């Protein structure tokens, strides 16, 4: 069993959960993910690893409660356990295999949007531990939806953008990237993790600016093993499976329009399942009232 040793609310509907999983913590690398089942009847839910600690044998997961499965995950409290946590899965970030010389001559900028900011952290942390201080742009709708800003500020040069201007740059992350470049900053490689539409426009912006771009398509994954086929994506005109070939790909070669259509394929089923869960919860509360 995988015991929960810490749980925190990071923002509205976004929770941090630290789980005792020593074998995974020992093997994990930036960019990889795990499959979580909240209980014996739970669905397999892919979650990108937001941190790992080999000393205390824990991994950190950040989950946004959107559907039935993610709500079950965040409902777990400290001292309780997940039925399964399998991993690490997926290919690590490609910079992990770069030589020290190549790392030090590459200027990195990371862009995290919403809950996608969390998996940016282990990547920036890994580079920091190898003597590389990367720039990090974190975007959110408002200041209250920002996460991981303190952690990222300790390992990189942090820049914040909010849609409403409540903190940092008033505007989109792409506009802030263009502003940084206009001010004389040069970047060789951009890594973007966040909403699909954000990554699409980061890819377009970096292509215009002549910056290499890597995106993480973890939001497409369902089964996490390549068997269900739900995470198929077209990259450079070829079909790839996000869970086994990724989750990171060259953002300039991803067919984002197709990916966004695929992402919406299961929305009706998810909404139906969530409605059934709420009906059951409401019925349970009514029964409790009758018992009294």
* Each residue's pLDDT tens digit, 72-122: 999 999 999 999 999 999 999 999 999 999 999 999 999 999 899 999 999
**What pLDDT is attached to residue 289?**
54
Do both 119 and 58 map to the same domain?
no
**What pLDDT is attached to residue 266?**
60
8 A C-beta contact, residue 102 and residue 74: no
Do both 124 and 196 map to the same domain?
yes
Do both 119 and 168 map to the same domain?
yes
Low-confidence ranges of the chain (pLDDT < 70): 223-226, 265-292
Do both 70 and 160 map to the same domain?
no
Do both 85 and 134 map to the same domain?
no
Going by the DSSP 8-state scheme, the letter that residue 28 receives in this structure is -
- Domain of residue 195 covers 94-263
Do both 118 and 257 map to the same domain?
yes
pTM of full prediction above 0.75: yes
* Cα radius of gyration (the chain): 19
Could you tell me the strand order of the sheet in which 157-162 lies? Answer: 169-170, 157-162, 135-140, 108-113, 189-193, 212-216, 248-250
Decide if 130 is inside a domain: yes
Do both 105 and 173 map to the same domain?
yes
Query: Tens of pLDDT along 177-204?
Result: 999 999 999 999 999 999 999 999 999 9
**What pLDDT is attached to residue 276?**
45
| Percent of the chain at pLDDT exceeding 90 | 72
The CATH number given to whatever domain includes residue 99 is 3.40.50.80
Do both 145 and 52 map to the same domain?
no
CA–CA separation, 72 vs 173, rounded Å? 32
Q: How many domains does the chain have?
A: 2
């Amino acid at each position: 069993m995988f015991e929960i040793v810490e749980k925190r609310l990071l923002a509205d509907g976004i929770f941090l959960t630290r789980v005792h999983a020593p074998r995974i913590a020992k093997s994990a690398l930036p960019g990889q993910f795990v499959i979580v089942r909240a209980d014996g009847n739970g669905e397999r839910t892919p979650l990108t690893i937001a941190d790992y600690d080999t000393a205390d044998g824990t991994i950190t997961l950040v989950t946004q409660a959107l559907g039935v499965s993610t709500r079950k995950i965040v409902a777990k409290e400290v001292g309780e356990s997940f039925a399964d946590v399998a991993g690490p899965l997926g290919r690590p970030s490609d910079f992990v295999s770069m030589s020290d010389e190549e790392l030090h001559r590459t200027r990195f900028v990371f862009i995290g949007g919403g809950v996608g900011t969390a998996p940016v952290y282990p990547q920036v942390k890994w580079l920091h531990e190898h003597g590389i201080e990367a720039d990090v742009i974190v975007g959110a709708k408002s200041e209250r939806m920002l996460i991981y800003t303190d952690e990222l500020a300790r390992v990189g040069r942090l820049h914040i953008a909010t849609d409403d201007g409540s903190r940092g740059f008033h505007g989109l992350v792409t506009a802030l990237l263009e502003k940084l470049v206009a001010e004389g900053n040069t970047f060789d490689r951009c890594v973007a993790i966040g909403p699909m539409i954000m990554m699409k426009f980061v890819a377009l912006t970096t292509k215009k600016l002549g910056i290499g771009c890597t995106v993480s398509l973890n939001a497409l994954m369902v089964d996490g093993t390549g068997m269900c086929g739900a995470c198929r994506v077209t990259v450079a005109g070829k079909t790839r499976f996000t869970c086994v070939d990724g989750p990171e790909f060259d953002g300039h070669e991803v067919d984002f329009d197709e990916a966004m259509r695929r992402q919406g394929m299961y929305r009706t089923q998810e909404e139906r399942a969530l409605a059934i869960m709420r009906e059951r919860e409401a019925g349970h509360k009514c029964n409790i009232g009758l018992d009294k």
